[in-house]
Structure 1
Amino acid sequence: MVIHYTNFGNFGDDWEDESTPVPPPRRAPQPPPIRPSDNVSQTSPLPGSSSVAMEVDNGLLPVRLQFANNWNYQVQAHEVGRELLKAYNSAAVRHLTHLNATAGGRLSPDYPHAHFVSRRQRISLLLEAETWDEYRGLQDELFATGHYRVNGQATQNDEPVVTISGSRESIRSFRVWSQWWGCADPYAIEAEIMACVAKIRAAQPKFTLKRDWSNYTDEQLSELKRDHQRRLIESSVY
């Protein structure tokens, strides 16, 4: 059974490893943090762009863009990255707000670090760790920030014309070369963004369960994990 990064999410569940000596970081529900950068796509206040709208999936990756009819007249070439980031920030906040409302205001503090694997699946994966080092390593994989920088397919003068940078939390920047002819073509921009997103998804971690844990209740799995964790810690000491 292969668990794909964006296929799962139990957003009302909290991480349960409070007894772990080195627990994973807990994060309060909040919109994706955006750090200032030195490129054209600096953080801009919400609401988003008036020239382009965006939709994101549970992995906070773009799945759809919609451009204004007068995009090529309304947005200058050097403003493309900034407008894309404004649209993305707005879309991410809308999506998180919707998920939080759906979860009854109980969006998991682990989100979005481990949103791609549900709490039940996380426990099952940890139960299959055979050593404490393996257990800790799996925790790190589940909660790693996962920074990336990917380029689209198009190049000009052997340089990529579109680059997306970010982490598992969110996209941080869209860089679009202002001399690229596609700056005035929404279809070309969308194609490059989707090419970048495809590369991001391809690089996302996949986890495989060796056993079928479906016969256990959530409570049984939690109890098994506590016992398993204790045994692994004890075996690592002696």
Structure 2
Amino acid sequence: MKKFIIGVMFALSASLMTTTALASGDGVELEDAKVDIHNQPSLQRGAKYFVNYCMGCHSLNFSRYNRMAADLGLTEEQVAKNLIFTRDADGEIDKPGVLMKNGMSQKQSAEWFGAPPPDLSLVGRSRGSDWIYSYLKAFYLDPTRPLGVNNTVFPNAGMPHVLWELQGMQEKHCTKGEGEHATEHCELKLVKAGSMTPVEYDQTIRDITNFLTYVGEPAKLHRTTYGIFTLLFLVLFAVVAYFLKKEYWKDVH
């Protein structure tokens, strides 16, 4: 029995270490995204930027437009007018009740990028908000890559820097300290400005990250409320149960 318990503890520790390693980006220091999924304006901006810049390649196959509209404080008319650009088999604009798929076929995407871009419905849960935030800020010029850019968080990623017009272009500069065991320190420097200032771009990335964090687990928006009502019910039930117990046992000596 003792060996079994030790084995279970070892397995749980190994699983936790693996999860932590994945979330940290394989040793890369991640920035704190500081997301807040209860910030509706941020979620609305994130949805706008995701649909306009990311959804040309990536889809959200586990989400529906009308569910998103309800959670983000939007009407279905607003979503249909501003966020839906795909069409059904008859050539009509998709309705808000459909899943958030894009118009790119798997065959086309595989030909263009070497592999189909992944669905991002669960990236907020699998990678974590800090990873998404850091990744979207970590593109830099690299002439050795097919698309001319690389990424410090996810090296040799096949994704182009689709937000370069907003951020601009960065270069990677590395310096190495003196001594036998000196480590190399690298940083990204902006060499070509985009349409946004660095502060504005950081907020845009935070909004996209916030939106993807919400998409990964929409129930988070309401789970805290459910928990509070559950605790209040248990407290009320405990009071009723206490007085009921006193009533049943008042004649027992």
Report the TM-score when normalising by structure 2: 0.24
Report the TM-score when normalising by structure 1: 0.25
1 or 2, which has the higher helix percentage?
2
Higher relative contact order (CA 8 A, sep 6+): 1
